[in-house]
Chain A
């Protein structure tokens, strides 16, 4: 069973190599990419089933026993993250295949797109199964470097400008992460997460707090937690629609995943939980206030992304199994729904020619399908019952209410308020871009909604108005996955609760890597 574990990293890496070799054969390249990501999905599902039924897996790479060698760990949380990320990666890949086919691949240097995308997948998977901090750092670097390439794809002025912000911020966070790994190694003499966990009690509390804060800052930048979230709305919207979709869905969640690991395994104590709660509060409120002010759909969605990271941090900050369970469910929900919304924004851009709601109108009449594909995930994210957004928020609020206290109740209130404002921002897009007619658009400049054949224009523009079926189908499939999160909320929340219980004690994780000797200091 252990042999399955490294496959989630190896398959996309070999896929990337294959895709790079096949650079001159776009069709084969696409095939390789789709097969590789389907492979991760299959392995991820197999891992989830195995781990959920017969316990977590730990694989010692190269046969070097932990803590000396590199260890890969798959517990329920890792496996669930692997499955969800594989679904999202595959869906976005199909979406971009559809877009690429329609555009004739002229806009993007497609020969590097698929290999880079697969390496991104490898980085994400590696981060989820990393059993030591340095391997987590390497996983982060793999996904970041490929994300640098993807965000500046095509090298237009806008993308370079936005990419530079993103890259410099990511570099700083990587350096902070590396420095904190160095300090943890200096303090504890190990980088193995399980080993760190059982030795952490040996060092004084003040040193612990410094290490804890350093790690949280590094992960906080990656997860876009206030006040470290400023870079996200500036850099995400300019990238191509599929790239933004996968970044929004996955990259910040890798940061949140790392925060969960840091809070539950490395520093299981409650010292910084109040700080995290305050941070969660500000992330939620400031993010959504930004979203309300935006006139561009992609920017608005980027701000809601920041805002909803706050909910996950709230779940983690509670420090109870219920809170972690709710945060896990919310992460799954948010990965799926936020990606779907960005894909829908890509469709809107394709139909309307822009994502500015001041210039859009009458989309409902032009393309009812796109309208439906935007509306359902919008309600879902806004937390309308019975969708998964509502269930996730309800679970979070319940967990917070059980803990009680002034901060928890403030967060519940803020959470409800933020959910309402999210709904307002999303529905504003609905009523402006979809519901109003063209005549109501002030200063309406582009006549984008009349049939294209009447317009003199190039063949490229004619093509661009028609939505490729593959893009529609993929977005519809993602909407269906979002609805499935509601329909199968019972089993999914069952897994989340088991994850919450697993993470309640750090010794559970230590037991995976060092069976039978948790809680006792080792001597070497």
Chain B
């Protein structure tokens, strides 16, 4: 089996830069990284197909040995379609993430539960109440009266304790 050195080098560069980008915190870079890795993988499939040859049509003139292998091309085509669909979804996700983010960034955020665990608090602090509320399937209504009167519904939503406000 002979393979094109240029293709192999291009594939290696695509893989390297793609993986580097995927390790970034910014979602857009992760997306670009994913695209590069995806195309590197497509190139890999093409490389394993061997040297290029005639179109694989049984016309009685070209022999099987002269034809290029059609299966990897079919595989690449499928992979491209899948990558395309996932890219479209990722773009929508990034847009949504950017809309939700207050600082206008699309960075990955830390996990509140992980931070709570690291700080040795299995329990819940006021800052995390908001996060936990958004976990649940229903919300605390604005006029919801808390029994002890220590925390009002507004405090729960804004994530601050009543004392801090006063």
Q: How many angstroms between the C-alpha atoms of A183 and B75 in the bound complex?
A: 13
- Check if A179 is an interface residue, CB within 8 A of chain B: yes
Do residues A446 and B134 form an inter-chain contact, with CB atoms below 8 A? no
Residues of B near A179 (CB, < 8 A) are: 41, 44
B interface, over-half SS: helix
Residues of B near A138 (CB, < 8 A) are: 78, 82
A288-307 with Cβ < 8 A to chain B: 293-296, 299
- Check if A98 is an interface residue, CB within 8 A of chain B: no
The digit string for A94-118, where 1 denotes a CB below 8 A from any CB of B, is 0000010001000100000000000
Known A179-B41, A350-B137, A460-B138: A168·B145 in contact at CB below 8 Å: no
- Check if B136 is an interface residue, CB within 8 A of chain A: yes
- Check if B164 is an interface residue, CB within 8 A of chain A: no
Residues of A near B48 (CB, < 8 A) are: 182-183, 185-186
A195-237 with Cβ < 8 A to chain B: 234, 237
- Check if B141 is an interface residue, CB within 8 A of chain A: yes
Q: How many angstroms between the C-alpha atoms of A156 and B1 in the bound complex?
A: 51
Interface size grouping (class) on chain B:
35 or more
What distance in Å separates the Cβ of A425 from its nearest Cβ neighbour in chain B? Answer: 12
- Check if B20 is an interface residue, CB within 8 A of chain A: no
What distance in Å separates the Cβ of B23 from its nearest Cβ neighbour in chain A? Answer: 10
Q: Which of A152, A156, A355, A445 has the most CB of B within 10 A?
A: A445
Do residues A168 and B22 form an inter-chain contact, with CB atoms below 8 A? yes
The chain B residue sitting closest to A350, CB to CB, is B137
- Check if A63 is an interface residue, CB within 8 A of chain B: no
What distance in Å separates the Cβ of B122 from its nearest Cβ neighbour in chain A? Answer: 4
The digit string for B86-116, where 1 denotes a CB below 8 A from any CB of A, is 1001100100110010000000110101100
Q: How many angstroms between the C-alpha atoms of A175 and B40 in the bound complex?
A: 10
The one of B41, B72, B108, B143 in contact with A161, judged by C-beta atoms closer than 8 angstroms, is B108
Do residues A175 and B41 form an inter-chain contact, with CB atoms below 8 A? yes
The one of A175, A186, A355 in contact with B37, judged by C-beta atoms closer than 8 angstroms, is A175
The chain A residue sitting closest to B85, CB to CB, is A145
Q: How many angstroms between the C-alpha atoms of A456 and B1 in the bound complex?
A: 76
Do residues A178 and B79 form an inter-chain contact, with CB atoms below 8 A? yes
Do residues B146 and A447 form an inter-chain contact, with CB atoms below 8 A? yes
- Check if B163 is an interface residue, CB within 8 A of chain A: no
Residues of A near B148 (CB, < 8 A) are: 444-445
Interface size grouping (class) on chain A:
35 or more
The chain B residue sitting closest to A177, CB to CB, is B41
The one of A156, A160, A234, A456 in contact with B93, judged by C-beta atoms closer than 8 angstroms, is A160
Do residues A145 and B137 form an inter-chain contact, with CB atoms below 8 A? no
Do residues B93 and A164 form an inter-chain contact, with CB atoms below 8 A? yes
Residues of A near B113 (CB, < 8 A) are: 234, 296, 299
Do residues B135 and A158 form an inter-chain contact, with CB atoms below 8 A? yes
Q: Which of A156, A158, A295, A455 has the most CB of B within 10 A?
A: A158
Do residues B37 and A456 form an inter-chain contact, with CB atoms below 8 A? no
- Check if A358 is an interface residue, CB within 8 A of chain B: yes
Residues of B near A457 (CB, < 8 A) are: 141, 143-144
The chain B residue sitting closest to A353, CB to CB, is B136
A interface, over-half SS: helix
A128-182 with Cβ < 8 A to chain B: 134, 138, 141, 145, 148-149, 152, 155-158, 160-165, 167-168, 171-172, 175, 178-179, 181-182
Known A175-B38, A445-B148: A359·B124 in contact at CB below 8 Å: yes
Q: How many angstroms between the C-alpha atoms of A186 and B47 in the bound complex?
A: 8
What distance in Å separates the Cβ of B71 from its nearest Cβ neighbour in chain A? Answer: 8
Residues of A near B111 (CB, < 8 A) are: 161-162, 234
Residues of A near B117 (CB, < 8 A) are: 293-294
Do residues A163 and B37 form an inter-chain contact, with CB atoms below 8 A? no
Residues of B near A107 (CB, < 8 A) are: 137-138
Residues of B near A443 (CB, < 8 A) are: 123
B51-96 with Cβ < 8 A to chain A: 71-72, 75, 78-79, 82, 85-86, 89-90, 93, 96
Q: How many angstroms between the C-alpha atoms of A228 and B60 in the bound complex?
A: 52
- Check if B151 is an interface residue, CB within 8 A of chain A: yes
Known A149-B89, A457-B144: A349·B136 in contact at CB below 8 Å: yes
Q: How many angstroms between the C-alpha atoms of A367 and B106 in the bound complex?
A: 42
The one of B71, B75, B89 in contact with A145, judged by C-beta atoms closer than 8 angstroms, is B89
Residues of B near A460 (CB, < 8 A) are: 138, 141
Residues of B near A168 (CB, < 8 A) are: 22, 30, 34
The chain A residue sitting closest to B19, CB to CB, is A172
Do residues A455 and B109 form an inter-chain contact, with CB atoms below 8 A? no
Do residues B147 and A447 form an inter-chain contact, with CB atoms below 8 A? yes
Q: How many angstroms between the C-alpha atoms of A296 and B151 in the bound complex?
A: 21
A230-252 with Cβ < 8 A to chain B: 234, 237-238, 240-241
Residues of B near A294 (CB, < 8 A) are: 117, 122
- Check if B45 is an interface residue, CB within 8 A of chain A: yes
A/B interface sample: 5 pairs, CB < 8 A:
A161-B108, A161-B109, A185-B75, A234-B113, A356-B124
Known: A161-B108, A457-B144. 15 other contacts (CB 8 A): A103-B137, A103-B138, A148-B86, A155-B96, A179-B44, A182-B44, A183-B44, A185-B45, A185-B48, A238-B135, A358-B123, A359-B124, A445-B146, A447-B146, A447-B147
